[in-house]
Structure 1
Amino acid sequence: MKRKVLIVEDEYELALNLKEQILKLGFSVPAVFDNARETLAYLEENSVDLLLVDIMIEGSMDGIGLVGIINKKWGLPIVFSTAYAETELFTKALEVNPAGYLVKPYKMDDLKTTLMLAFSKIDRIEHEVRDSPAFLKVRDKGFLIFLHAEEIILAQADGLYTKIITRTKSYVVRDILKDVEEKLPAKLFLRVHKSFLVNKMHIRSFNGRNAVVDEYTVPIRRGLYKHLQEVVTKRF
């Protein structure tokens, strides 16, 4: 699947040129915006892999303010672009920890190198997490939290989001349930229903219609009863 790069740039011709170049590099560009309001509205309903954000954009909020919100809500990687590399504004932009930056005017090779390095950094971090004990990344009040898989009781689909339930707290992640399922170990989790993924170790009882997972009662799909018997038996 092509990686999605969202462009936030207030120079119309430059934005179109950027889109064309990024497409040539093999990425997709799902949308182009010139202001923070439309960008945030888009991110509420859609997922992207990286944002290319100009520091100076239309509206009352600049690119730095926009990225501050994005960091708190979604933690998405950002590449800044700017014509003001020697200013205090640029120094402030670096404080929000972008995955890279481009100084205008830049060439196709500069764009390619910056995006490749940014995605390489992202891949390395994700690889390190995958190779460690199973964790799920969630965000809570602006903080990035790594939940150990064993802490998770169940996950419930909620449209484009998924509710993650532990014994101490619930979290909402901006992934559909299928994507959450792929990030968790199959040996520990079972999809019992189109809307529920449960930790096998927390299944307390069940019948042909429902399962009690810790203190939660969730529906199960038809025909799962026998498989649940096998799953629970193997725990002992």
Structure 2
Amino acid sequence: MVKIKILIVEDELVIAEDLKDTLEDLGYEVCGIAISAREALAMIEEKSPDLALLDIQIKGGKDGIALGAEINEQYHLPFIILTSHADRQTIDRAKTVNPYGYLVKPFNEKEILAGIELALANFAKEQAKRENKENSAEFVLRESLFIRTNGMLVKLRLTDIIYLEADANYTQVYTKDKKYVIRSTLKELEGKLDSNRFVRVHKSFLINLEEINGIQPETVHVAGKEIPISRNQYSWLLQQIKML
């Protein structure tokens, strides 16, 4: 049975290790402990956790709530906020990043288990609703993608798309002869495209596998452009190709 992978973001290492022991006793896998937002984002990229536990007070310039906002923008990852504070101001601020749970220290094993299982169940339900909605929408028609540009829906053949690049709340779509800018996040577009053809090799790039010209440990060459690739995606990609 595959274990749920959990990332702990907590700068009090004694607390983090105690939480790690509790999670492992409950049958989860702790894939890493980060003490800052910067470390956490690197571990998300490398470890691909199923859930993150974010303490509000962490080292670095961003606290756990700011980290949650960045996770929402860049990744498809549920998280639970951990804190010693239960005041209205802190709770209201935490609500703005839509966490899947909120645990107030000190918490016990039963509270941790309930919080994690509810978060994962709610995330799964949300995903199912989103997939049903996307499947019913006529956004993608077999081998074509329709995008809105200059007030008109323009049809693009999937075979003509080389790669897509995130640009905040927009996405730049590069074809063989033109670039389009769409008011949609890369994460939203990723869910609408064929995962057998388009793969997210980096938080900011989604590429057409058929357009790859070369592969290096840190970059993929696509149509003359070097696109960064994360370590775990590089390993996955090597398993998919045939080498002589």
**What interval of TM-score do these two structures reach, taking the shorter chain for normalisation?**
0.5 to 0.7
Deviation at 1:173, TM superposition (A): 5.7
Question: Hey, what's the Cα distance between the residues in 1 that align with 2:195 and 2:133?
Answer: 12
Q: CA 1:2 to 1:185, structure 2 compared with 1: closer, same or farther past 3 Å?
A: same
Q: CA 1:61 to 1:185, structure 2 compared with 1: closer, same or farther past 3 Å?
A: closer
Aligned to 2:112: 111
What runs of 5+ residues in structure 1 fail to find an aligned partner? 137-145, 175-179, 199-215, 223-236
Aligned to 1:91: 92
Aligned to 1:230: none
Aligned to 2:31: 30
Equivalent residue of 1:81, what SS?
Answer: strand
2:158 to 148, 153, 157: 153
Say whether 1:52 aligns with 2:58: no
Q: How does 1:128-147 map to 2 (within 5 A)?
A: 128-134=129-135
Deviation at 1:75, TM superposition (A): 3.9
Question: Hey, what's the Cα distance between the residues in 2 that align with 1:62 and 1:31?
Answer: 18
Question: Hey, what's the Cα distance between the residues in 2 that align with 1:135 and 1:27?
Answer: 35
Question: Hey, what's the Cα distance between the residues in 2 that align with 1:164 and 1:147?
Answer: 15
TM-score, L = length of structure 1: 0.60
Deviation at 1:26, TM superposition (A): 2.4
Aligned to 1:127: 128
Aligned to 1:77: 78
Question: Hey, what's the Cα distance between the residues in 1 that align with 2:40 and 2:87?
Answer: 27
Larger radius of gyration between Structure 1 and Structure 2: 1
Contact 1:22 1:28 in 2 (8 A): yes
Q: CA 1:56 to 1:87, structure 2 compared with 1: closer, same or farther past 3 Å?
A: farther
Aligned to 2:236: none
Deviation readout 1:153-184 (Å, 9 max, x if unpaired): 158799xxxx987895589968xxxxx79x84
Q: CA 1:135 to 1:2, structure 2 compared with 1: closer, same or farther past 3 Å?
A: farther
AA at the equivalent of 2:158: I
Aligned to 2:65: 64
Contact 1:5 1:30 in 2 (8 A): yes
Q: CA 1:132 to 1:62, structure 2 compared with 1: closer, same or farther past 3 Å?
A: closer
Q: CA 1:10 to 1:122, structure 2 compared with 1: closer, same or farther past 3 Å?
A: same
Equivalent residue of 2:113, what SS?
Answer: helix
Q: CA 1:85 to 1:148, structure 2 compared with 1: closer, same or farther past 3 Å?
A: farther
Identity fraction in percent = 30
Equivalenced residues, count? 178
Contact 2:173 2:180 in 1 (8 A): no
Q: CA 1:90 to 1:38, structure 2 compared with 1: closer, same or farther past 3 Å?
A: same
TM-score, L = length of structure 2: 0.58
Equivalent residue of 2:30, what SS?
Answer: coil
Equivalent residue of 1:29, what SS?
Answer: strand
Q: CA 1:135 to 1:54, structure 2 compared with 1: closer, same or farther past 3 Å?
A: farther
Question: Hey, what's the Cα distance between the residues in 2 that align with 1:76 and 1:96?
Answer: 12
AA at the equivalent of 1:69: E
Q: How does 1:158-197 map to 2 (within 5 A)?
A: 168=180, 184=194
Deviation readout 1:13-35 (Å, 9 max, x if unpaired): 21111112222222211100111
Q: CA 1:157 to 1:168, structure 2 compared with 1: closer, same or farther past 3 Å?
A: closer
Question: Hey, what's the Cα distance between the residues in 2 that align with 1:65 and 1:185?
Answer: 30
Q: CA 1:131 to 1:106, structure 2 compared with 1: closer, same or farther past 3 Å?
A: same
